[in-house]
Amino acid sequence: MPSARFIQYGLGPIGTGIADLAAHQGHRLVAVVDIDPAKIGRPAAAFISGAPADVVITADAATVLNAGADIVLHSTQSRLAQVFPQLLPLVDAGLAVISTCEELAFPWIHHPVEAASLDALARSRGVGVVGLGVNPGFVMDLLPVILTSPCRDIRRITVSRVVDVDLRRVPLQQKVGVGLPVEEFRRGVAAGHLGHIGLPQSAAMIAHALGWTLNRIDETIEPVVGRNDVVQGVHQVCRGTHGTTGEIILDLTMAAGAQNPRDEIAVEATPPIRAIIAGGIHGDQATYAIVVNAVPRVLAARPGLLLPTQLPPVAGTTRT
């Protein structure tokens, strides 16, 4: 695999995992941006194994634009409105971007004007920009789309993902409300702090690939409640309908002690397809790999704001 020069933008748990893997795969870290006071000014090598000794973490993204990078691996926030001002200067400087921002996986649904301007800028600068990750970006959208490839007369696509967050990192447990009283959970959902971001984006991505127009996309976010009315996690269902016959149902449970963790994809079509990934795909590890494995694909892609479904298949990697 050809080596790229990359900027790591965001050094939280996901960003650190991405940068570690990218350096491990032979890509060269040239700069790190993070706003955590505990990290600013410190050597990147204190956080990222394989980081060159001379790379120092900065909070000022403007100073890294001319660091000689090919691509930015971006992992800060989930909402497009949050990351949009971060991305524009990067793209304007001619840097390709892969971001784990959930809404960037399909920004056209909630932010069509921002998406169009980012697309136009990326085209004019000759670089690819794409939102990737395991979810959205793979297990509830790209993989179901690919599994429709042998199908005609598609009527319904149902994806169920069950994640036992006991097995995952603490921030994810907090994100899904583990341990909260139900009322606090509901306030968190209303405020947009709690729950998974990305189901409507995944539904829209599937619809786009199938050439469907979704009349509506509805999403429910409910607590999974355990003993003593304490929240164990979240159950979200997103449903999109195309005309009177086409339906996309995305059903996501992320809860402590969730039974039978798995990813399950059913395509009602000719022929029907039912695929089960036993145990489910581990989200964090998978996101690191999806981002890093996609680097050569994004650098070779046509310029513009791309969808995960518009890149040729990304293959995994062996130890280098």
**Can you give the binding site for its own copies, defined by CB under 8 A?**
1, 21, 24-25, 134, 138, 142-143, 145-155, 209-212, 242, 245-246, 267, 269-271, 273-279, 281-282, 285-290, 292-294, 309-319
Comparing CB distances to its own copies, the nearer of 189 and 277 is 277
Give the β-pairing of 246-255 and 28-33.
Answer: unpaired
Comparing CB distances to its own copies, the nearer of 196 and 242 is 242
Q: Tell me the three-class secondary structure of 113-142, residue by residue.
A: HHHHHHHHHHHHHCCEEEECCCCCCCCCCH
Comparing CB distances to its own copies, the nearer of 96 and 142 is 142
CB of 174 to its own copies, least distance (A): 22
Comparing CB distances to its own copies, the nearer of 63 and 270 is 270
CB of 152 to its own copies, least distance (A): 5
CB of 213 to its own copies, least distance (A): 11
Q: How many CA atoms lie within 13 A of 151 on its CB side?
A: 21
Is the peptide bond between 303 and the residue preceding it cis, with omega within 30 degrees of 0? no
Comparing CB distances to its own copies, the nearer of 1 and 40 is 1
CB of 28 to its own copies, least distance (A): 18
C-alpha 84: how far from its chain's center? 15
CB of 187 to its own copies, least distance (A): 34
CB of 40 to its own copies, least distance (A): 29
C-alpha 228: how far from its chain's center? 34
CB of 223 to its own copies, least distance (A): 28
CB of 135 to its own copies, least distance (A): 10
Comparing CB distances to its own copies, the nearer of 66 and 244 is 244
Comparing CB distances to its own copies, the nearer of 106 and 185 is 106
Comparing CB distances to its own copies, the nearer of 82 and 270 is 270
